[in-house]
Amino acid sequence: MAKIGINIATGSLQQDEIIVGIDLGTTNSLVAILHPDTKKPIALKEHNSSSLVPSVVHFDAFGNVTVGEAAKAFLIAEPQNTIFSAKRLMGKSYNDVKQNASFFSYKVIDDNTENLVKVQVGNKFYSPVDLSSFVLKELKQRAEHILKTPVNKAVITVPAYFNDAQRQATRDAGKLAGLDVLRIVNEPTAASLAYGLGLHKDEEKAIAVYDLGGGTFDISILKISNGIFEVLSTNGDTYLGGDDFDNAIVKYWLQQSGLNEDELKQNKEFAQAIRLKAEEAKIYLSSNEAFESQLNGDKLIITRKIFENLVQPLVDTTISCCTSALKDAGLLTKDIDVTVMVGGSTRMPIVKESISKFFGKPVNDTVNPDEVVALGAAIQADILAGNNKDVLLLDITPLSLGIETMGGLMDVLIPRNSKIPNKAARQYTTHKDGQSGMKISVYQGERDMVKDNRKLAEFNLTGIPGMPAGLPKVEVSFLINADGILVVKAKELRSGIEQSIQVKAQQDLSDEALEKMLLDSITHAKEDIATRALVEARTEGEQLLETTEKFIQKNATYLSKEEMMQTASAMQALQLAITMDDKDLIHTKAKELNDISRPYAERVMDHAISLAMKGKAV
Ligand code: AMP
């Protein structure tokens, strides 16, 4: 199988085009390349500034977007218009993030569903993919400015535990930013590469990658053999990071000055200002014994000793995650050959010391922990470019493979440039009550609508036993063998019925046709993603209309006349919005309908519960 790269400007195939490595982080992001002369990875930065770009996006009243340090400055003054930590929302539904909803000071739409989450700023709705694409676009532009050459190809890193949907969302964000994402690489793998691990074929090692960033903690146990990285286990806490160390200081200062935490809730500006001071103190204490400063005329003081006492429980939490990860990997601390430190928070002496003690050997911390992942991504990019002949390059799929889902959308199961052999599976369900069959249409290509891709095959899974919509679990799996033969299987998991088909993945596709498909996907990226967002909004809107309709039919007696009328008119408005080409309007109307139905839906629920409590059947 071929590895194809395209120069967007000319549309021609190019071998020597630069491929950047991007660490798209929760708190900060950055770009790295392999220096053409020294062959060493370097993080790109403007003269005299940091390589780190805060992953923060600010929207002004006119819809102008700023990213990075300039956007971060708005965190205090305009929390509703300033989006941070969008990575936490990637590939998630509101139900996935609702326990942590208070974490976000901007508006995450509460639609109480499994649909992908959206953020509202003013009267616009943004998906996490949109938000991440703004960060990536900024990184691309910076890299172009520094390198004085177009940058169109990238390797982007993601946490090892990211699932399919989150990896796909990251790819989509890259595409939307005008980047051809050649590979999604696990962050711990990239960090290991940056330490030169895994670059020799006969190397066999067990590696622990300890990554404590601004808001998240991950521990990954990896094995390398035959030049292949395998993730043996991951563990961590997606809501534990440098921010918690800052909060420990904030709490301490509040206690010292006799304030309580409610004060922070009431005054968001003060809360942000004291948090920034606390971060400054924490960083200062990594190389000094005591910190002293002022805020609004009040003195703020803390010593390293007090700080370390405060945060010991946080460090201990990370260590219990390490214990669990080792257990899952079936290894003991002594089996770990190398421990790699990643993330700005590993600069804290208490962290380095505790982890060295736990693993029984000094940790590897010589590479800048903020840059190490991006540097590794740059090394991976260089390997993909074919410049590093020592490393085995596996065969890859030249185009993405997927199936058609609701509204004619392409749902990718095996992304382009995945190594083969490969397998992937995803679960789907029916959307009609009693539906007995499901058509599986297999497509190849990079466009968001299947009509723009190539159909490879189609078959019907029949004989699904009658069940209400949403109950059957149909697992569609793709298996590509080493010859590029794709086997697609669909299986209803509750009943066990299954059907499969064999396809030759790139049936007589010429290089020119392949090139055209790739080029089309990039030139149409923006409209494709807009169409996808519109189709998804319509599907969600239609589902909402259907469930509201069903609910009302069942519970009409509990609703007042006024509620009935309001609901009917909100449903009509949503119906109308669905016929138009404006996803934000659909979301607005869906939200209005949700806002109207929420109070009575809750009332009906409460009523059902109180009946049940009285021992009556509902
Ligand atoms: P990352 O997400 O990897 O960029 O890590 C950012 C986190 O590292 C933030 O919480 C920073 O406050 C923290 N950090 C950066 N430098 C230091 C330092 N010298 N000491 C302690 N924490 C640091």
Q: Give the 3-state DSSP-derived string for 177-195, with helices as H, strands as E and coil as C.
A: CCCEEEEEEEHHHHHHHHC
- Do 100 and 218 share a domain, yes or no? yes
Domain-ending residue, one of 345, 361, 394 = 394
In a domain, 521, yes or no: no
414/477 same-domain check: yes
Active-site residue identified among 72, 87, 140, 277: 87
Q: Are residues 386 and 445 in the same domain?
A: no
Same domain, 407 and 384: no
Nearest to 406 by CA among 546, 585, 570: 546
Range of the domain at 223: 5-241+310-394
Identify the domain boundary among 341, 373, 394.
394
pLDDT in the model for residue 344: 95
Atom number of ligand 1 nearest to Cα 287: 19
Q: Residues 111, 172, 211, 244: which is the catalytic one?
A: 211
Got the DSSP string for 117-186? Answer: P-EEETTEEE-HHHHHHHHHHHHHHHHHHHHTS---EEEEEE-TT--HHHHHHHHHHHHHTT-EEEEEEE
CB-based contacts of 505: which residues, under 8 Å, 6+ apart?
397, 401, 444, 456, 480, 484, 485, 486
Residue 4 has a pLDDT of 42
Strands 153-158 and 19-24: parallel
Tens digit of pLDDT for each residue in 12-38? Answer: 444 468 999 999 999 999 999 999 899
23 tagged catalytic: yes
298 domain-assigned: no
pLDDT in tens, 126-146: 999 999 999 999 999 999 999
Q: Which residue has the tokens 């999604």?
A: 184
Last residue of a domain, one of 364, 394, 424: 394
Residue 481, token pair as written in the block: 């063998």
pLDDT for residue 618: 43
Note the pLDDT of residue 483.
65
Clarify whether residues 460 and 587 are in a common domain: no
**Against a cut of 0.85, is the pTM above it?**
no
As a whole number of angstroms, the distance between CA 589 and CA 548 comes to 13
Report whether residue 214 contacts ligand 1, using a CB cutoff of 6 Å: yes
Q: Is there a contact between 355 and 339 (Cβ–Cβ < 8 Å)?
A: yes
pLDDT at 210: 98
Has 211 been annotated as catalytic? yes
279 found inside a domain:
no
Taking alpha carbons only, the member of 400, 401, 408, 442 closest to residue 531 is: 408
Half-sphere exposure (CA, 13 Å, Cβ side) for 114?
Answer: 2
Position 264 scores a pLDDT of 80
Shared domain check, 206 and 335? yes
Q: Is 389 part of the annotated catalytic residue set?
A: no
List, for residues 419-429, the tens digit of each pLDDT value. Answer: 777 889 999 99
Q: Which residues pair with 486 in a beta bridge?
A: 480, 503
Question: Residue 13's pLDDT is what?
Answer: 41
Q: Are 452 and 500 in contact (CB under 8 A)?
A: no
Are 429 and 319 in a shared domain? no
Of 113, 128, 124, 91, the residue nearest 541 (C-alpha):
113
Statement to judge: residues 456 and 378 lie in one domain: no
Q: Is the CB of 347 under 6 A from ligand 1?
A: yes
Low-confidence ranges of the chain (pLDDT < 50): 1-15, 393, 617-618
CATH of the domain at 77: 3.30.420.40
Mutate to test the pocket of ligand 1, among 282, 346, 368 (most ligand atoms within 8 A of CB): 282
Q: Provide the pLDDT for residue 506.
A: 52
CATH code of the domain containing 572: 1.20.1270.10
Distance CA 371, CA 316 (A): 25
**Claim to verify: residue 481 and residue 601 sit in the same structural domain:** no
* Residues 30 and 145 reside in one and the same domain: yes
